[in-house]
Amino acid sequence: MNTKRLLVDNDGDNEQIYSQAVDLLNDGEVVAFPTETVYGLGAVATDEKAVKKIFQAKGRPSDNPLIVHIGTIEEVSDYIEHISENALELMNVFWPGPLTIVMKAKSGILAPNVTAGLSTVGIRMPDHEVALRLLRKLKKPVAAPSANRSGKPSPTKAQHVEEDLQGKIPLILDGGTTGIGLESTVLDMTVTPPVILRPGGVTKEMLQEVIGEVIQPNKEQQKLDSIPKAPGMKYTHYAPNAPVLLIEKDQHTVSTAIAYLQKDGYKVALLAPINFSKLGSDYFFAFGQEEDKEQMGAKLYEDLRACDKTDATIILATTTSTEGVGAAIMNRLEKAAGGKWFRLSEI
Ligand code: TXA
Ligand code: MG
């Protein structure tokens, strides 16, 4: 299959390109498109055969449910049994935006492979001109996971989608670099108090201001849950080819680690704030300015992907605090590293 990548920038009305995308979706095909978080790979969420193509293109395990994207709040009641006042309040405050709300699904409407057999479904309205225009023109719900091969870092540029899915999908709408760079917050509203299944751009603090108590399980609590609530969180994720080690954001620790690893024959790639660039690593990818978590989140996946274009044999990534969006960044970094750290006390 030939994969077309079409630019939908702000110049020109691009109506013809949107029509192509809508026609493909209506014909049971998949289309990649940008959202404010990462690129998604979409199919009509009521079309089981089309949804199957998402799993095939990504190589995604079929027990991992997909998020349903909608273009207007009114549509939610088509797919959801009962919308609680708190859920409605969250939609009014945070949509369009990076918040996925898990609620009990009406049965028999969405394709069963969208929810992977669960009785619940995660819904969100993306805050991106291209995604919203596509959804509102199509007037159907779109199931869309991140548009990467399963296990790889999520795509923040159309080029990343192309690298992963070239030849496997017919169309990529290229809307440039995504803004947030980390996937949406997934909030389970089927339990009281609600539980954050995946931290993201909408933080626990922001949610609590609107609906009161919200639980964000820490790593230990997540491990205690024998059945992961967000099924996707149990798989390897966000992983470049070379192993990743987390490291404290301290120049002395990082330069010692680089020298130690290089002496052992490793080629070291360092992902860290811009002021860490001169510590002697073989490759350096900047997370932006130190203490700027938004920049770090926006660059994380691009930097992890960039390591695959080098001959680095080990990747050091500096960490951040879990305050605010730091919770989402550390969640992704921990997964990319498989929980492994470089610690001076252990050498
Ligand atoms: O920002 C995002 O959320 C992006 C863009 C494209 O919208 N999408 C995305 O989808 O990250 P995906 O499939 O890569 O991640 C969806 C996560 C998975 O961890 C999945 O297990 C969880 O949400 N999830 C989906 N539906 C769920 C449900 N009904 N109950 C619990 N977890 C669910
Ligand atoms: Mg994903």
CA of 335 to the centre of ligand 2 (A): 12
pLDDT level of residue 226 (50, 70, 90 thresholds): very low
Q: Check residue 224 and give its pLDDT.
A: 53
pLDDT tens-digit profile of 136-162? 999 999 999 999 999 999 999 999 999
List ligand 1's pocket residues with C-beta within 6 A.
35, 37-38, 40, 64-67, 98, 100, 102, 115, 118, 120-122, 126, 144-146, 183-184, 186, 197-198, 229-233
Strand partners, 214: none
- For residue 11, the model assigns a pLDDT of 74
* CA 196 – ligand 2 centroid, Å: 16
Listed in sequence order, the residues at least 6 apart from 254 whose beta carbon sits closer than 8 Å to its beta carbon are: 247, 248, 270, 272, 276, 279, 316, 318
Which residue lies with its CA nearest to atom 22 of ligand 1?
Answer: 230
Q: What is the pLDDT of residue 229?
A: 63
Write down the mean pLDDT value for the chain.
94
* Percent residues over pLDDT 70 in the chain: 95
What pairs with residue 100 in β-bridges? 186
3-state secondary structure the chain: CCCEEEECCCCCCCHHHHHHHHHHHHCCCCEEEECCCCEEEEEECCCHHHHHHHHHHHCCCCCCCCEEECCCHHHHHHHECCCCHHHHHHHHHHCCCCEEEEEEECCCCCCCCCCCCCCEEEEECCCCHHHHHHHHHHCCCEECCECCCCCCCCCCCHHHHHHHHCCCCCEEEECCCCCCCCCCEEEECCCCCCEEEECCCCCHHHHHHHHCCCECCCHHHHHHCCCCCCHHHHCCCCCCCCCEEEECCCHHHHHHHHHHHHHCCCCEEEEECHHHCCCCCCEEEECCCCCCHHHHHHHHHHHHHHHCCCCCCEEEEECCCCCCCHHHHHHHHHHHHCCCECCHHHC
Taking residues 302-313, report their average pLDDT.
96
Residue 233 has pLDDT above 90, yes or no: no
Least confident segment among 58-72, 210-224, 301-315: 210-224
Alpha carbon of 233 to ligand 2 centroid (Å)? 9
213-230: average pLDDT: 70
Angle between helices 129-138 and 15-26 (to 10 degrees): 60
Within 8 A by CB and 6+ apart from 130, the residues are 8, 33, 34, 173, 175
Is pLDDT at 228 greater than 60 in this prediction?
no
Confidence band of 248 (pLDDT split at 50, 70, 90): very high
CA neighbor of 120 nearest in space, from 140, 100, 135: 100
pTM assigned to the model? 0.95
Q: Identify the weakest region by mean pLDDT among 22-31, 89-98, 134-143, 234-243.
A: 234-243
